[in-house]
Structure 1
Amino acid sequence: MGKDNSSSLKLVVLLFELSFVSDSGELYAKKLANFVEKRLKNERAASIWTSTLQRTILTASPIVGFPKIQWRALDEINAGVCDGMTYEEIKKNMPEEYESRKKDKLRYRYPRGESYLDVIQRLEPVIIELERQRAPVVVVAHQAVLRALYAYFADRPLKEVPHIEVYDPKVSSLMR
């Protein structure tokens, strides 16, 4: 992780994550839209980037007046055979996997899935494109992705990526 601090580019990246879309999720999405529209009212060239997963697309849907771009690279970490399982279920049904992940969350790869290192690698084209942007970008994404993007733009060490605290909903403004 890391970035070239010599860039004079002004970049605003707003990161949002919503675990599920519900009544409270819809309310949050509307508040998010108001926040973005107010914050970026003079930035007509701004854009909204989401993952291809429905919950981020729905979260971004109330935001109007800005182009929306879906990136598969912004999708949540692929949990493979553990997809849909809670950590308690993994601990109970797959204790070896649970312990392996606990020992090295950065390098642990879910069976038939991804590791944080895989997510970081797949985000490289997104980061390159973010660096090229001259207007603000709103990124609506998921926890592992947000951790990796935040670590990059905040110049945090690679080993910290899986442990960066990201809460639902999370709003971070990063300016350069």
Structure 2
Amino acid sequence: MKRYIYLLRHGETEFGKEKRYLGHIDCNLSSEGKYQAMRLGDIFKENKMEIKSIFSSDLIRCKDTIKLVFPEREVTYLRELREINMGIWDGLTFEEVKSKYAEDYINRGENISSFIPSNGESFIQCQMRAIAVFKEIICSTTGNIAICSHSGFIRALLCNLLNKDLKEIFDIKQSYGGINIITFDNYNFVVEGINLKNVTC
């Protein structure tokens, strides 16, 4: 039986307008982010989309998003659904990293797949984590699923499902409050929609 997996990016954060590295650091949703989350909730209601299980990153920006999308529903929060770990860069602006860690900043740009900031993880490591938890969620559930996570995590997972090289990771657009649709028929995963703002059922 065909199953639908709705992979959601959290709403805009309080740092949403800034060019800042946000990994495992916690931050709140902005007012716009809360609106985006409520709009996601409206989409699921209007389309009467049946969701059997709901999962989310345990970081505040995802927890607050999923509570607004599915109020009063049980949610399983998993650390494994967190954003890529940016280590000592976490919370710093692009300009601060460029100034404090100039050589590493250049190295990451040249080796986006494998570069690891101090105390952080690479996109390869993030992708392996994403694939593992995604398969675990699929195998431990039935029916349609909603998962709320982060742009880096989602892009890394989609690269795998689309057979794309991680060097192309930023070619996959992920807007705040965007929806990605993946279907599973017990044999194959198919990416049916990326970064959607609405869904027609």
TM-score, shorter chain, exceeding 0.5: yes
Normalized per residue, the structure richer in helix is: 1
Q: Secondary structure of the residue that 1:134 maps to in structure 2?
A: coil
Q: CA deviation at 1:103?
A: 0.3
- Hey, what does 1:117 align to over in structure 2? 124
Normalized per residue, the structure richer in strand is: 2
Does the 8 Å contact 2:8/2:146 carry over to 1?
yes
Q: Does 1:90 align with 2:135?
A: no
Alpha-carbon distance in 1 for matches of 2:111, 2:36: 33
Normalised to the residue count of structure 2, the TM-score between the two structures is 0.74
Q: CA deviation at 1:16?
A: 1.9
Q: Count residues with an aligned counterpart.
A: 167
Q: CA deviation at 1:78?
A: 1.1
For structure 2, the residue ranges without an aligned partner over 5 or more in a row are 14-28, 185-201
Does the 8 Å contact 2:36/2:176 carry over to 1?
no
1:27-80 CA-partner distances (Å, limit 9, x unpaired): 1111111112334x3525x22211110010001112136431111011111111
Return closer, same or farther for 1:111/1:19 CA change in 2, 3 Å cut-off.
farther
Structure 1 range deviating more: 23-32 or 123-132: 123-132
Return closer, same or farther for 1:90/1:119 CA change in 2, 3 Å cut-off.
same
Alpha-carbon distance in 2 for matches of 1:36, 1:75: 23
Alpha-carbon distance in 2 for matches of 1:14, 1:94: 33
1:133-144 equivalences in 2 (<5 Å): 133-144=141-152
User: Identity of counterpart residues, as a percentage?
Assistant: 26
Return closer, same or farther for 1:60/1:35 CA change in 2, 3 Å cut-off.
same
Higher relative contact order (CA 8 A, sep 6+): 1
- Hey, what does 1:165 align to over in structure 2? 173
C-alpha RMSD over aligned residues: 2.1
Q: Secondary structure of the residue that 2:127 maps to in structure 1?
A: helix
For structure 1, the residue ranges without an aligned partner over 5 or more in a row are 1-7
1:23-172 equivalences in 2 (<5 Å): 23-39=31-47, 41=48, 43=50, 46-62=52-68, 63-64=70-71, 66-132=73-139, 133-172=141-180
Alpha-carbon distance in 1 for matches of 2:119, 2:31: 33
Structure 1 range deviating more: 18-27 or 75-84: 18-27
Normalised to the residue count of structure 1, the TM-score between the two structures is 0.83
Does the 8 Å contact 1:47/1:66 carry over to 2?
no
